[in-house]
């Protein structure tokens, strides 16, 4: 038996066989062909179809993104008219190589030549050449393409080097017992998705450790402790099986009381929201007892397709959610992409520090077409719902003003078009950049509410990448520095009568809840499976005692001391996960 240690990323226990996940790549077969004439014709037809498909994408991208962004598709189409490339393929086919392999040979030479050039623009072109090649291959081998397939026919523990949100979103959760990754940490987006789905996960095991796991090998995964056991014997597995049963039973028991409100013993009501990332989980979150949707990560609309979603598609998705939630609050966060959430269809180019680069609202402001379409779709959801808009990653007041200006434009356009729109809706921001927390009083003059995004706030405060297991020790969400920023944000909001929520992963961490309540937050929004327990914890608290705990914690000098203080006052909470 072998024991591997990683970072606890999603609580719960899983036992079962492993499946090593490789992101989908296409296997191209190399064949000797008999009839170069027919093969040449097959290639020509594939190029014609690929060009038509690219032209189609270009037309859609022009409508949705604007002509500037769509120009890349024009470049892609022109590659397929380049005589140097086409002659090279035909020459290989004449040498009796099948069209797929001939294309790969020609493209590889072309892409390598570009990749070796010193200029960054040319290096990026190499990626374009590969993308175009892939498109022609799709036409040559249509049967081999489909959505990312895991090949699961029985439930397994999925083991991967890393998982992007796009990888994770395409997996069938009913077939996944648990997730294990070499990279990533508790606030990486794959971990957040795992918690939302209630799938136990251990992340950040390291590449070497991961190499020890083979496909089909039996694993025990403890997502609460961050431990993975390989080939454990029956005696070792036994307590894990019992723990698993207890975990599930506890969860069910809390769930039975999930619809009771989260009100402290002395009468302070805390709104408990759900963080959701797609239509299905948004609808399901109701049954976990959420008072509303505190964070709708609208990225799901953008990650699944090859192109940005149209306004009509977005309106339809939002309406499906509002249909289920009626008049309960629903905070739609505008597109928050970049860094560990790349978009397949938006070429951002290389950035040395993506987490400090073009992401969140800055990306939307650089692509105002995208933001405008989304805002129009939100406004078009219709009257009678309690929809709110939230902008992510705001660092300065000018960004907030610019986003609101685009919102006003969207509103005017819709009015001119005589389309019915939501008249009155709150517009808030995520506070996840330290500058925004420090300037909360000024921002509160412009924002109707704040939601603290501690996942990012902590990484920016301690200058430690939230997905890098090597700096995980510096990632300290309960550090007094974080608590002081939360306090500053709450005070800034109060000065203008605004409400403040917190939608980072910290909101669902049992031992954090008393301090968060004591700091004066009005709302806590979390992954749905954490809601019943969080509500039960709030109901067990006294607000006055929580306030005095927060006051004491604010005076301390390290996270260790804060955790010690919590453990001394709430010994039971530290045991819960
Ligand atoms: C956060 O940063 O805390 C947050 C909720 O946003 P995300 O995790 O999607 O970056
Ligand atoms: Mg964030």
State the average pLDDT for the chain: 89
432 Cβ inside 6 Å of ligand 1: yes
> How far is the C-alpha of 329 from the C-alpha of 497, rounded, in Å?
18
Q: What percent of the chain has pLDDT over 90?
A: 60
CA distance 51 to 60: 14
Residue 290's contacts (CB-CB under 8 Å, 6 or more residues apart) are: 272, 273, 274, 528, 531
CB 450 within 8 Å of CB 431: yes
**What is the Cα–Cα distance from 246 to 350, expressed in whole angstroms?**
47
Among protein residues, the one with the nearest Cα to ligand 1's atom 6 is 453
What is the 456 CA–ligand 1 centroid distance (Å)? 6
Q: Is the pLDDT of residue 474 over 60?
A: yes
150 pLDDT above the threshold of 70: no
Residue 146 confidence (pLDDT): 43
Pocket flag, ligand 1, residue 501 (CB < 6 Å): no
More reliable by pLDDT, 206 or 143: 206
| Cα 454 to ligand 1 centroid, rounded to whole Å | 7
| pLDDT tens digits for range 113-124 | 777 776 666 666
* pLDDT for the residue 197: 81
Residues in the chain: 577
482 vs 303, more confident: 482
- Which of 275, 430, 504 is the best mutation target for the ligand 1 pocket, counting ligand atoms within 8 Å of the beta carbon and taking the most? 504
The rounded Å distance from CA 338 to ligand 1 centre is: 12
pLDDT surpasses 50 at 404: yes
pLDDT value for 169:
67
Q: Which atom belonging to ligand 1 lies closest to the Cα atom of 453?
A: 3
Residue 487 has pLDDT above 90, yes or no: yes
Determine if ligand 1 sits within 6 Å of the CB of residue 503: yes
> How far apart are the CA of 25 and the centre of ligand 2, in A?
30
In the chain, the domains with their CATH numbers are 2-23+148-253 (3.50.30.10), 36-144 (1.10.274.10), 257-576 (3.20.20.60)
Mean pLDDT, to the nearest integer, of 154-169? 81
User: Which of 374, 356, 353 is closest to 365 using CA atoms?
Assistant: 374
Query: Who has greater pLDDT, 197 or 160?
Result: 160
The Cα diameter of the chain in Å comes to: 84
Q: Coil, strand or helix: which one is 395? A: coil
pLDDT at 147: 41
Nearest alpha-carbon partner for 17 in 158, 226, 151, 149: 158
Lowest mean pLDDT among 10-14, 57-61, 332-336, 345-349: 345-349
pLDDT per position as a tens digit, 523-545: 999 999 999 999 999 999 999 99
The structure tokens 């917190």 sit at 502
State if residue 338 touches ligand 1 by the CB under 6 angstroms criterion.
no
**According to the model, what pLDDT value does residue 553 have?**
98
Angle between helix 36-65 and helix 368-379 axes, rounded to 10 deg: 70
List 203's β-bridge partners, or say none: 7
Confidence category of residue 575, pLDDT binned at 50, 70, 90? low
Ligand 1 mean position, distance from CA 342 (Å)? 15
Query: 499 Cβ partners below 8 Å, 6+ apart?
Result: 449, 450, 493, 522, 523
- The finding on whether 522 has its CB within 6 A of some atom of ligand 1 is no
Ligand nearest to the CA of 195: 1
| Catalytic member of 254, 479, 503, 577 | 503
Atom of ligand 1 nearest to the CA of 452: 3
**Ligand 1 within 6 A of CB of 455:** yes
Q: Return the pLDDT at 230.
A: 95
Position in ligand 1 atom list of the atom nearest CA 297: 9
Split at pLDDT 50, 70, 90, the class of 127 is: low
Q: Which ligand is nearest to the CA of 192?
A: 1
The mean pLDDT of 53-73, rounded to a whole number, is 73
Compute the distance from residue 293 Cα to the ligand 1 centre, in Å. Answer: 14
433 pLDDT higher than 70: yes
What distance in angstroms lies between residue 456's CA and the mean position of ligand 2's atoms? Answer: 5
189 among known catalytic residues: yes
336 touches ligand 1 (CB under 6 Å): yes
Of 303, 434, 453, 464, the residue with max ligand 1 atoms within 8 A of its CB, to mutate for a pocket test, comes to 453
The gap from C-alpha 73 to its chain's centroid, in whole angstroms, comes to 27
Q: Best of 165, 390, 432, 465 to mutate for ligand 1, by most ligand atoms within 8 A of CB?
A: 432
Does the Cβ of 454 fall within 6 Å of ligand 1? yes
Ligand 1 atom nearest the C-alpha of 299 is: 9
**CA–CA separation, 404 and 394 (whole Å):** 12
User: What pLDDT digit, counting tens, does each position of 243-300 carry?
Assistant: 999 988 888 888 888 999 999 999 999 999 999 988 888 888 988 999 999 999 998 8
More confident residue, 496 or 347: 496
pLDDT of residue 274: 97
Q: What pLDDT shows up at residue 144?
A: 55
340 CB under 6 A from ligand 1?
Answer: no
On the question of pLDDT at 149 being above 60, the answer is no
Does ligand 1 have an atom closer than 6 angstroms to the CB of 456?
Answer: yes
Dist CA 64 CA 172 (whole Å): 30
- pLDDT of 391 > 50? The answer is yes
Mind listing the pLDDT tens digit for each residue in 66-99?
Answer: 666 677 778 888 888 888 888 999 999 999 999 9
pLDDT tens sequence across 367-382: 999 999 999 999 999 8
Going by C-alpha positions, the residue among 335, 419, 430 that lies closest to residue 373 is: 335
From the list 76, 189, 254, 369, the catalytic residue is 189
Alpha helix stretches (DSSP H) within 120-206:
120-140, 165-169, 189-197
CA distance 58 to 50: 12
The pLDDT value recorded for residue 148 is: 44
Burial of 401 (C-beta count, 10 Å sphere; 0-12/13-18/19+): exposed
Question: Mutate which of 273, 431, 503, 521 to test ligand 1's pocket (most atoms within 8 Å of Cβ)?
Answer: 503
């Amino acid at each position: 038996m072998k024991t591997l240690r990683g970072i606890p990323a999603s609580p719960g226990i899983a036992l079962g066989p492993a499946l090593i996940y490789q992101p989908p790549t296409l296997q191209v077969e190399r064949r000797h062909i008999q009839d170069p004439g027919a093969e040449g014709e097959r290639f020509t037809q594939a190029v014609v179809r690929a060009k038509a498909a690219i032209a189609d994408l270009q037309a859609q991208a022009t409508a949705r993104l604007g002509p500037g962004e769509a120009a890349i598709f024009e470049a892609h189409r022109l590659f397929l008219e380049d005589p140097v490339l086409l002659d090279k393929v035909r020459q290989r086919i004449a040498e009796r190589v099948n069209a797929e392999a001939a294309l790969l040979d020609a493209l590889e030479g072309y892409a390598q030549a570009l990749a070796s050039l010193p200029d960054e623009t040319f290096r990026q072109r190499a990626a374009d050449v590969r993308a175009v090649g892939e498109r022609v291959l799709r036409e040559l081998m249509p049967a081999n393409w489909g959505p990312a397939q895991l090949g699961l026919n029985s439930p397994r523990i999925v083991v991967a080097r890393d998982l992007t949100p796009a990888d994770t979103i395409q997996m069938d959760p009913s077939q996944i017992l648990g997730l294990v990754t070499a990279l990533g940490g508790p606030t990486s987006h794959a971990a957040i998705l795992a918690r939302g789905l209630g799938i136990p996960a251990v992340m950040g095991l390291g590449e070497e450790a991961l190499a020890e796991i083979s496909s089909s090998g039996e694993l025990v995964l403890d997502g609460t402790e961050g431990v993975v056991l390989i080939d454990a014997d029956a005696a070792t597995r036994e307590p894990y099986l019992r723990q698993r049963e207890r975990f599930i039973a506890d969860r069910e028991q809390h769930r039975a009381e999930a619809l009771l409100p989260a009100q402290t013993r002395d009468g302070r009501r805390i709104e408990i929201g759900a963080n959701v990332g797609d239509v299905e989980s948004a609808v399901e979150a109701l049954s976990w007892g959420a008072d509303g949707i505190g964070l709708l990560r609208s990225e799901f609309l953008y990650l699944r397709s090859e192109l940005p979603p149209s306004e009509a598609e977005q309106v339809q998705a939002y309406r499906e959610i509002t249909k289920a939630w009626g008049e309960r609050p629903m905070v739609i966060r505008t597109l928050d992409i970049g860094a560990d959430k790349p978009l397949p269809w938006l070429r951002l180019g290389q950035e040395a520090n993506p987490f400090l680069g073009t992401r969140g609202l800055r990306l939307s402001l650089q692509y105002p077409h995208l933001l405008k379409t989304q805002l129009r779709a939100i406004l078009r959801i219709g009257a009678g719902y309690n929809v709110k808009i939230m902008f992510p990653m705001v660092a300065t007041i000018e960004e907030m003003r610019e986003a609101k200006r685009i919102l006003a434009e969207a509103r005017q356009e819709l009015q001119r078009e005589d389309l019915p729109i939501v008249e009155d809706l709150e517009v808030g921001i995520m506070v996840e950049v330290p500058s925004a927390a420090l300037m909360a009083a000024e921002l509160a003059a412009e924002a109707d509410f704040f939601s603290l995004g501690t996942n990012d706030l902590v990484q920016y405060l301690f200058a430690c990448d939230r997905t890098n297991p090597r700096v995980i020790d510096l990632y300290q969400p309960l550090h007094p520095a974080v608590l002081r920023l939360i306090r500053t944000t709450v005070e800034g909001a109060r000065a203008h009568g605004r409400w403040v929520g917190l939608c980072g992963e910290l909101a669902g961490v049992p031992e954090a809840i008393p301090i968060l309540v004591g700091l004066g937050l009005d709302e806590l929004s979390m992954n749905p499976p954490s809601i019943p327990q969080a509500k039960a914890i709030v109901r067990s608290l006294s607000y006055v005692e929580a306030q005095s705990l927060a006051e004491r914690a604010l005076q301390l000098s390290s996270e260790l001391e804060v955790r010690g203080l919590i453990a001394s006052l709430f010994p039971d909470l530290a045991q819960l996960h």
